[in-house]
A = this chain, B = another copy of it.
C-alpha cells in the first residue's frame, strides 16, 4: 500500500473519487473534499466513525471541523504523495457519509 501511486493506478483509483467530489490540493500530491452535515453532532459523529478506520489502517487524515463542515486532506507522508491507502480511506469516508 505504501508506495506512491503510479500513473496507471491514479487513473483507476482517483477517477471515481473525482466523480464523488474529491479534488487534488493545489500544489500538493494530496486529495481534498469538504463534507457537509446537518449539524455538529452529525459532523463529529461521522469523524468518529472515520477515526476508527484511520486508526485501524494506521493512516490518518488532516481534517478541519467547523460546526457542520469537515474539510479533509489525504496524503501519505511516508511516500511524499498519494498512495493506495489514501484512495481506500477516501472511499471509506464517502461510504460513511
Task: Kindly list chain B residues whose C-beta atoms are within 8 Å of the C-beta of A97.
Answer: none
CB distance from A6 to the nearest CB of B (A): 26
Give the size category of A's interface with B: 10 to 19
Measured CB to CB, the nearest residue on chain B to A39 is B55
Which of B40, B64, B67 contacts A64, CB < 8 Å?
B64
CB distance from A87 to the nearest CB of B (A): 19
CB distance from A24 to the nearest CB of B (A): 19
Query: How long is the Cα–Cα vector from A60 to B54 in the complex, in angstroms?
Result: 24
Contact with B along A55-67 (1 / 0, CB 8 A): 1000011111111
Which residues A9-37 have CB closer than 8 A to chain B?
none
